[in-house]
Amino acid sequence: MKIKVGFGFDVHQLKDNHPFFVGGVNLEHHRGAFGHSDADVLLHAICDALLGAANLRDIGFHFKNTDPQWKGISSIVLLKETVKLIREKGWEIGNVDAMLCLEAPKINPHIPKMQENIATAIDISIEDISIKATTNEQMGFIGREEGVVAYAVCLIEKQ
């Protein structure tokens, strides 16, 4: 068996009165992430971790932010497409571990639904999806609620 580890990172600007999708969940908040797709920072970091582990470049290579096909699209769709790409290369997903960094809103109540959304999209057990969240202690662009950051690592396996 061969195993590989991937790392993903994403950041999005927050704007007033904009939807805020994280892990496929629309969070109630006065600010939301801005981007070409739905700007789901968590799912984008996971896509990059998976693509990187399989040596398939990055999310921007496959889903260009200049392509109208991806404008406003749910990042769940991007995650499913990413999984197709890595499975075409013979890889299966072992686990995903992710960290969100934002000041507000509180993420903890939404983690079970995020885990369910991700596990369903990539067809693995909820037990293999870890999501954590922290603040930036009111420092920097995250602390001022100007942006949100996500990090993800994954393990992929090939028989």
Q: Which residues contact 7 (CB under 8 A, 6 or more apart)?
A: 48, 49, 52, 151, 152, 153
Torsion (CA) 60, 40, 13, 106 in degrees, nearest 10: -150
User: 115-149 pLDDT, tens per residue?
Assistant: 999 999 999 999 999 999 999 999 999 999 999 99
Binding residues: 10-12, 36-37, 44, 58-60, 63-67, 134-137, 141, 144
- All structural domains of the chain with their residue ranges: 2-158
The residues with which 132 forms a beta bridge, in sequence order, are: 99
Is the alpha carbon torsion for 153, 58, 137, 135 positive or negative? Answer: negative
pTM: 0.97
C-alpha count within 13 angstroms, C-beta hemisphere, residue 138: 0
With 90 as the cut, is the pLDDT of residue 20 above it?
A: yes
Backbone angles phi, psi at 132, to 5 degrees: -130, 165
- Provide the pLDDT confidence category of residue 72 given band limits of 50, 70 and 90: confident
Report the alpha-carbon distance of residue 28 to residue 19 in Å, rounded. Answer: 8
pLDDT of residue 128: 98
In angstroms, the first-to-last Cα distance of the chain is: 5
Binding residues for a divalent metal cation: 10, 12, 44
Q: Is it true that domain 2-158 has CATH number 3.30.1330.50?
A: yes
User: 25-45 pLDDT, tens per residue?
Assistant: 999 999 999 999 999 999 999
